Amino acid sequence: MPSANPPLDDQLLEEIHADQNTNTGIENKKLIMWLFLASDCMFFGTLISTHLIYRKLYPFGHPEEGAVNITGTFDIELTSFSTFILLMSSFLMALAVSSMHKGAIQSFRNYTFGVIIFGLIFLAGQVYEFQHFYHGQGWYDWKVSSNAGQVIVGNEKNKLLFHDVANTAAAKEGFGHEQFGLELLSFTPAEGADLAHPPITFKYEVELPDEVGNAPETFYGEYIYNPTDPHASQVVVLSEIPPPPVIEEAKEAPKEEASDDTAKADSGGKTDASEKAETTEEAEAPAEASETKDVTAAQEQTEAAEEHVAESTEHTEAPNEHATEKHTEDTHNEAHPHTHTPAPTSMAEVTKAAKETFKHSNYGFELNEFKQVQVVPGLDLKTSVFGSTFYVMTGTHGTHVAIGVLWLFSMLVYSYSGRLTPRHAVDVEIAGLYWHFVDIVWIVIFTVVYLVEYI
Amino acid sequence: MSSATAEVHTTHHHAVADKTQLAPEKSLLGLTRPDRHTGWIDWVTTVDHKKIGIMYGGFALLFFIIGGIEALMIRLQLSVPQNDLITAQLYNQFFTMHGTTMIFLGVMPLSAAFFNFLVPLQIGARDVAFPRLNTFSLWTFVAGAFVLNISWLFQFAHTVGWFGQGLVHTDMAPSGGWFGYAPLTGDKYTGIGTDFWIVGLQILGVASLAASFNFIVTILNMRAPGMTMMRLPVFTWMTLVTSFLIIFAFPAITIALAELMFDRYFGSNFFRTENGGQPILWQHLFWVFGHPEVYILVLPAMGIVSEILPTFSKKPLFGYPIIVFSGAVIGFLGFAVWSHHMFTTGLGKVATAAFSLLTMAIAVPTGVKIFNWMGTLWGGRIKFTVPMVFSLGFIWMFMLGGFTGIMHSSAPADAQQQDSYFVVAHFHYVLLGGVLLGLLAGLYFWVPKIFGRMLNQKLGYWTAFLVIAGFNITFFPMHYLGLTGMPRRTHTYLGDMGWNLWNLVATIGAFILGIGVLLCFVNIVYTVFKGKKCDADPWGGRTLEWSTPTPVPAYNFAATPIVQARDCFWVHKHGDKKIEYMPDDGHGIHMPSQSWFPLLCGFGFAFFGVSMAMMGAGVPYAGYCAIAGLSAVFLGVYLWALEGPGGYHLEPPHEEGADKPHDAPASHAAH
C-alpha cells in the first residue's frame, strides 16, 4: 500500500479543493445543505400538518369544547416582536455573508454578533412564552372590583388595567379623591406555585400614581386563589410580599390572627415561603402589640397619616364586611391607635415606601374582591392535543435556532482565532442558508399557528 | 506546484502544526487522528467507501440471518394448528422484529453496501463527497441495529427474572408490528419493546438520511468528465432516485416516531384517543413514509438487474432513457399511493378512487421496465451465469408480486384481502422474490470485484434453485390461505379451517429457502478467504468499475477517466471511443484522513438508544444517561467539524501493476 505523506496544511487543501470543479458548479457542502433543507422542509411539514389537522378537528384545542383558550394563551404582541427580530436577524445574516465574500472580516464579526444576539432574543422570547403558557399565566381572565364600585377588567398577561366602569362621580365619592389611574402592575403566581394544584398563591403589585406630581408609589400583596371554593379564595393580604412591612392595628390583633388562620386554611397547598411569612407575622404579633401602645401614646398626632396606611393594609388583609365598611367611613382626620414594627429585613426601605404611599393616598382602595371570569388551565403537553402539537412543533423550531446560534457563535470565535477567514466564505454562506431557512419556517409557523387565530 | 506556493505552504506548515497541538481531538479526548491503514483501527475509522461498503454488507448479512431465524420461528409455530411452541407474545415479537430487521437491517444496508462500493467507481470518482459522513452513516446504522436487537437480551433477562419484574407490560422486545400502529404502540398497551423500536428506528433514520445526502451530492457533483447524467449506469441512477425518496420519505416517519415518543415519555396526546389523538394520523404518517419505503427497497434491486441483464445478453440495455425515467416516475408516484394501505379505514369515495387510480398508474412505469428488460434479452447472446439466473428469477417473481399488487389497487378487492395471508404473499413476492433475488444477483455479480475471488458457481446454481423453489413453496400457498380467510399475524389457528396442509407446505418451503440462503452465505464467507482468484473484469463488464484493478486501490482511479459513451468500458473494449485519462496534475492524489469521531457518534447513539428504553422501564438516572449519549453525538459532530477534512497525498503507480508507494519527494517533504 502507498504510504501517507505528512498532513497537508489548510491553504494547500483549499487550493486543491478549489481545483475540483464540481459537475453542477455548486460546492459539495452547499449542495448537501440544500438537500438537508429540502429534507427539513418535510420534517417541519409533518409537524405543521399534524398541528393543523388537530386544529381543524378541535378548534378549541381539545375534544371538549372550550378547553383551551387559544387567543388567551397567545401573546401576539410578543410573538410578533420575536418574529420581527428573527426577520431582522436574517437581514443581518445576509449582510454577514456578503461581508465575508468581500473579505471584510470585521464587518462579518459585527453582523454575526448581531445575528447571535437577535437569535438569543428570539430564544428568550420563546422560553418566556413557554413558561407562561405552561403556568397558565395568560390563561385567566380576571375581573377585580373594589369596594368603592371600581371594577378591574383585564385579560392581559402581566398587566391588569383598572377601568372605571362604575359611575365616575360615585366612585369619586367613594374614593374621596380624583385618583382613578390605579394600575395593577403585575399579577403573577408566587414562586413555586403550581397551577395544577390549587390553591395557588399569586403576588400582585399595584401602582398608585400621585396627582401632586410625586413619583408613583407601589405596593405589593398576595392573593390566594382556590378554584375549588372561589369564595374562600377571596383573601387578599396586602404588603406581605416583599418581606412583610408588618403594620397592624393593636386592637384588632386577635381578629387579624383569625383571618390569617383562615387564609392559611384556605391555602392548604401554599408554598413554604408564604407560610413562613405568615408564621413570622403571627409570632411577632404580641411583641408588636406591646410596642404599639408606647408608640401611639407618644406620637399619636405625628403619625396620623401613617395610621391610614396601616388601616388600608389591615382592611385588605381581612376583607370582611365590617372592616370594609369601617374603612370606607375613614377620613384623613381620624386617628386610630395602631402600631408598626419596621420589618427587620433588608426590605425595610420597601416597607417605608409602602407606608409613605399610604400616608397621602388613602383612597379607600382595596383589592377585596377578585372574581374569576374564566379559568383555563395552564397549557402543557398533556392537557390537550393543541398543547402537544404546539410545544413539539415550536420546540423543534427553537432547537433549530439554538443550533444555529451555536454554529454562528463558533464561527465568530474562529474568526478571531484565525480558523475562519474570507477563504471560508462558503462556510458562512452555508450557515446563512440554514439561518434563512429557520427564519422562513418560523414565518410559516407564525402565520398558520398564531396569526390564523386572529383573522 | 509552483515554488511560490510551496513557500507559502511551508510557512503555513508551522501554523498548522501549532493548531494540531491545540486540536480538540488531542487535548480534549486524547484521540489523535488515526493514520493506520491496516488492522481494526483502520476498519473502524476508515473513510474509504469500499471498506465501508464491505462492512455494510457484512452487517446486512448478519441481520439477514437473524431475521431469517425469526421467520423460521414464525413458520414453525404455524406449521400445525393450535401449536403452542411459542407464546402469542413471543410470536408477536418475532413477526415485528422479522419485518423490522429484514427491511431496515437487511435489505436497506445491503443496498447501501452496493451504493457505497459501486457508486464512486461507476461514476469515476475517488470517494464519496463526504467520506467521514459516510463512516458516520455506517456506525449510526450499526448503533440503531444494536438498539433494536439488544431488546432480545432484555426479553431474555425478563423471562429468567433478572430484569423488569415490576413492569406492567412484559414485552421487552418490540411487539407492535413493523408499522407500529398507534395507539397500540402507546404506553397503555406495550412496554419498553416499543421504546427500543422507536429509538432504534429513529437512529436508523439518521443513518439513512446522512447516507442519502452523501450519495446525491456524490452523484450530482463528482462524476468524471464526460459522465453526463444520461451516461450514468442505471444502478447509479436508481441510487440517486432511492436517495431522493429517502430524504423526502424518512422525515414523515421520524416525526411520527418522535410524536409517539413524546406520547410515551412525556404524556402528550398525539395518538392518545381519550384526549382526541387520532389513530388514523399515525397511519397516514407511517404510510406516507412506508410506501416510498417499498420503492426504496426495490429500486436498487431494479438497478442491479439493469446492470446484469445487458452484461450477460451481450447487448446494451434496451431503452436506457425509458428505464431511467420509469425509475424516476416510480419514485414520484411512490409518494402518491400511500393510502392504498388504508382503504379499509374509510377514507371516503373520492380519496379511495384517487388512490386506487394512482396505484394502478404506478404499475405502468413498472411494466415498462419489465418490457425493457425483456427487450434487452431479446436477440441477445444470453449466458446463464448465476447472477443472470437470479436476475431472471427477479423479473419473474417480481412480476407475480406486481400482479397481486394490481389486485390490491382495486379498493373493493382490497377490502377482502386486507390483513389476510394474501397480502403476506403479495409483499413477500415483491420483497423476497423481487428485492432479495436482485440483491443476491448483485452479490454474485460484484463479489468478484470486491474481493478479487469468484463465488463458487456450482453452489451458486444450487442456491438459485433452492431459493427460488423454496420461496415459491413457502409463499405461493399463502395466496390460497389468504383468500380462504386466514388472517395475517395470527398466532395460531384451529385445525378445521382447511389451512393445515398449506401451512405445513409453507413451513417446509421456508426451510428449503433457509437452506438456500445459508448456502449463499457460506459460499460468500468461503470465497472471501479461500475462493478462486479472478482477474479485474471476469464477466466482460460494461461500466467503469470493471476498468479498475482488483482489488480496487484506495484511490480507485490512478488518473481520472474521461468518459465518452454510455457503457463506456464496453465501448472502450469493443468500440472506437476509448476511455482517456486526465493528465497527472503533479501533486499526487489527495486522500481524506480517517477519523474517530463518526465512531464516537455511533457509540453515543447506541448509548442514547438503550438509555431511552431504560428510561421507559423506570431505571434511575437513565434519562441523564440518554442526555449524555446524545451529548456524545453532538460532541462527535462538533469535533469532527473542527478537525477538518485533513488529508494526505498518494502518488499513483507509474508502471502498470506496480502499486508502488510514493516516497515523499522533495516538493512534499516540506509539508
Let me know if residue B574 belongs to a domain: yes
Across the interface, whether the CB atoms of B16 and A1 are under 8 A apart is answered no
Per-residue pLDDT band for B525 (boundaries 50, 70, 90) equals very high
Interface of A with B in 2-41 (CB under 8 A): 2-13, 15-16, 19, 22-24, 26, 28, 31-32, 35-36, 38-40
Residue B163 and residue A163: Cα distance in Å, rounded?
64
Contacts of B384 (CB under 8 A, 6+ apart): B312
Mutate: best of A1, A58, A388, A409, partner B, most B CBs <10 A: A388
Verify whether the Cβ–Cβ distance B255 to A12 is below 8 Å: no
Question: Tens digit of pLDDT for each residue in A214-259?
Answer: 555 565 666 565 555 544 433 343 443 333 333 344 334 343 443 4
Are B382 and B388 contacting, i.e. CB atoms less than 8 angstroms apart?
yes
**Helical spans, DSSP H, in B378-456:** 386-409, 411-417, 421-428, 437-451
pLDDT tens digits, one per residue of B137-147: 999 999 999 99
Residues A318, A255: contact at Cβ < 8 Å? Answer: yes
Contacts of A130 in chain B (CB under 8 A): none
Cβ(B264)–Cβ(B618) below 8 Å: no
Does A135 score more than 50 pLDDT? Answer: yes
A58-67, A196-205, A361-370, B98-107, range with greatest mean pLDDT: B98-107
Q: What pLDDT is recorded for position B642?
A: 85
Chain B, residues 108-137, CB within 8 A of chain A, namely 129-130
Mean pLDDT of chain B: 90
Helix (H) or strand (E) holding A434: helix A425-445
For residue A348, the model assigns a pLDDT of 42
Give the residues across from B589 on adjacent strands. B650
The closest CB to that of A382, out of B267, B646, B661, belongs to B267
pLDDT tens per residue across span B258-299: 999 999 999 999 999 988 899 999 999 999 999 999 999 999
The pLDDT value given to residue A267: 39
The dihedral region occupied by B618, where left means phi > 0, alpha psi between -120 and 50, and beta the remainder, is: left
Please report, for the domain that includes residue B330, its CATH number.
1.20.210.10
A65 touches chain B (CB under 8 A): no
Task: State pLDDT tens for residues B10-49.
Answer: 333 333 323 333 333 343 466 677 777 778 888 999 999 9
Q: What average pLDDT does the segment A62-83 reach?
A: 79
Residues A159 and B417: their CA atoms lie apart, in Å, by 62
Q: What is the mean pLDDT of chain A?
A: 63
A184 backbone φψ class: left, alpha, beta (φ>0; ψ -120 to 50): beta
pLDDT of residue A190: 60
Please give the share of chain A, as a percent, with pLDDT higher than 70: 40
Examine the pLDDT at A313 and tell me if it is beyond 50.
no
Task: Return the axis-axis angle of helices B320-333 and B279-313, rounded to nearest 10°.
Answer: 170
Residue B590: helix, strand or coil by DSSP?
strand
Burial (CB < 10 A; 0-12, 13-18, 19+), residue A299, is exposed
Task: Kindly state the percentage of chain B with pLDDT values over 90.
Answer: 82
Residue B13 lies in a domain: no
Residues of chain B neighbouring A31 (CB-CB closer than 8 A): 216-217, 220-221
B194 located within any domain:
yes
Decide if B2 is inside a domain: no
Given a contact cutoff of 8 angstroms between Cβ atoms, the answer to whether A184 and A154 are in contact is yes
Domains, chain A, in order of start with CATH, read 24-136+380-454 (1.20.120.80), 140-375 (no CATH)
Q: What pLDDT is attached to residue B466?
A: 97
Per-residue DSSP letters for A233-252? T-EEEET-SSS---EE-GGG
CB neighbour list of residue B180: distance below 8 Å, 6 or more residues apart: B174, B194, B197, B198, B260, B282, B286
- For residue A420, what is the nearest residue in chain B, using CA coordinates? B642
A–B interface: beta-carbon pairs under 8 A: 177
> How many domains does chain B divide into?
1
- The grid cell for B470 is 423454496
| Domain interval for residue B504 | 24-161+169-652
User: To the nearest 10°, the Cα dihedral for B372, B374, B375, B378?
Assistant: 170
**DSSP letters spanning A5-31:** PPPPPHHHHHHHHHHS--SSSS-HHHH
Q: What cell does A425 get? A: 466564505
B661 touches chain A (CB under 8 A): yes
Task: Answer whether residue B313 is part of any domain.
Answer: yes
Pick from B247, B263, B648: CB nearest A8:
B648
**Nearest residue on chain A to B218, judged by CA atoms?**
A28
Cα(B555)–Cα(B124) distance, integer angstroms: 11
